A and B are shown apart, each in its own frame.
Chain A
Amino acid sequence: MAFLKSYLMFIVKYIKEVFGAVKSLAIGLRRTMYYFTHHKEIITQQYPDNRATLNFPERFKGEVVMPHNENNEHRCTGCTACELACPNGTIKVITQFITTPEGKKKKAIDKLVYHLELCTMCNLCVVACPSDAIKMAQTFEHSVYDRGELTKILNNPGSKIMEGVE
Chain B
Amino acid sequence: MWSFHQIADFINDWLNQRFNPTWVTVIEMIITGILVISLFAVLGLVLVIMERKVSAWIQIRLGPNRVGPKGMFQSLADTLKLLVKEGMTPTGSDKFLFNLAPYIAMIVAMLLMAPLAFARNFQMWDMNIGVLYITAISSVSVISVLIAGWSSNNKYSLMGAMRAGAQIVSYELSAGLSILAVVVLTGSLNINEIIQSQANGWWIFKGHIPAIIAFVTFIIAVTAETNRAPFDLAEAESELTAGFHTEYSGMKFALFFLAEYVNVFIVCALGAILFFGGWMPFHIGNWQGFNHVMDFIPSSIWFFGKTFFLIFLIMWFRWTFPRLRIDQLLNLEWKYLLPISMFNILLVTAMAIGGWHF
Report which A residues bind B (CB closer than 8 A).
18, 25, 28-29, 31-33, 35-36, 39, 41-44, 46
Q: What is the total number of residues of chain B having a CB less than 8 Å from a CB of chain A? A: 15
Decide yes or no: A28 and B61 within 8 Å by CB, A18-B336, A18-B340, A36-B54 being known contacts: no
Beta-carbon contact of A42 and B336 below 8 Å: no
Is residue B60 contacting chain A, with contact meaning CB distance below 8 A? yes
Which residues from A are CB-within-8-Å of B321? 25, 28
Whole-angstrom distance between the Cβ of A135 and the nearest chain B Cβ: 30
Whether B320 lies near A32 (C-beta < 8 A) is: yes
User: Which of these, A32, A33, A42, contacts B62 with CB under 8 Å?
Assistant: A42
When the two chains form their complex, are residues A44 and B58 in contact, meaning their CB atoms are under 8 A apart?
A: no
Residues of A within 8 A of B320 (CB): 25, 28-29, 31-32
What number of residue pairs across chains A and B have CB atoms under 8 A from each other?
35
What distance in Å separates the Cβ of B151 from its nearest Cβ neighbour in chain A? 37
If over half of A's interface residues share one DSSP class (helix, strand or loop), that class is named, otherwise mixed; here it is helix
For the complex, give the distance between the alpha carbons of A42 and B57 in Å. 8
- 28 chain-A/chain-B pairs, Cβ below 8 angstroms: A18-B336, A18-B340, A25-B320, A28-B320, A28-B321, A29-B316, A29-B317, A29-B320, A31-B320, A32-B316, A32-B319, A32-B320, A33-B316, A35-B57, A35-B58, A35-B59, A36-B54, A36-B57, A36-B58, A36-B316, A41-B60, A42-B61, A42-B62, A43-B60, A43-B61, A44-B61, A44-B62, A46-B65
Per-residue interface assignment for chain B, residues 21 to 64, with 1 indicating a CB less than 8 Å from any chain A CB and 0 otherwise: 00000000000000000000000000000000010011111100
Residues of B near A46 (CB, < 8 A) are 62, 65
The listed residue (A18, A33, A35) touching B60 by CB distance below 8 A is A35
Across-interface contacts of B317 in A (CB, < 8 A)? 29
| Centre residue among A28, A29, A33, A36 by max chain B CB count within 10 A | A36
Residues on the B chain within 8 Å of A43, using CB: 60-61
